Amino acid sequence: MKKLSLLLALTAASPALAASSNPFAGEFWTLTNTNLIVLLGFIVFILLLVWKKVPALLGRMLDERAAGIRRDLEEARALREEAQSILASYERKQREVQDQADAIVAQAKKDAEAAAEKARGDLKTSIARRLAAAEEQIAAAEAAAVREVRDTAITVATAAAADVIAKKMTAEDASTLIDASIAEVGEKLH
């Protein structure tokens, strides 16, 4: 019944039928009428398509295509999620590496400051040692100079005293002084 109503609908929609006032009049139904032949060929073609189940086949092909597209979309979604997780992992690793680099830089700064402080301390110690050594050298030079001045003063004073004594001393005083000196030496040696 469905097929017949389809056939009638197609027949009613034909331009040739629309032109004639009576579709069942004699001239239209002759085999010389090309419109009738085209209509019959079209109806046979449609019936052949329905008989060979072409609409179901087309529907099945469209369903398969839709299922393939759905699978591709799901695969693309899974790949996108995987790419996002990999990206998040790399971003996390990059943050960790950046944190490590910052820690290394901070440690290097601390080490440099500690090395600079140690160098300052070593320099102060070295300067203090050198100052102490210089002060010792100055004290030794000062003591040597004082000794030398004292020795020179003693020599000069002895020479001056001998000269003064020699000028003022008489032979008798010299003889008495020599005898006293010999006696003193004799007492000290024994």
Token pair for residue 64?
Answer: 């398969």
The pLDDT score that the predictor gives to residue 24 is 56
Domain range summary for the chain, segments of one domain joined by +: 2-82, 86-162
Non-local CB neighbours of 169 within 8 Å, separated by 6+ positions = 177
Total-model pTM: 0.38
Tell me the per-residue pLDDT of 138-163, one tens digit each, with 9 for 90 and over: 988 888 888 888 888 888 877 777 77
Question: In this predicted model, what pLDDT tens digit does every residue of 58-82 receive, in sequence order?
Answer: 899 999 999 999 999 999 999 999 9
Contacts of 106 (CB under 8 A, 6+ apart): none
20 compared with 100, residue with greater pLDDT: 100
Task: Calculate the average pLDDT of the chain.
Answer: 83
Place of tokens 């009576």: 22
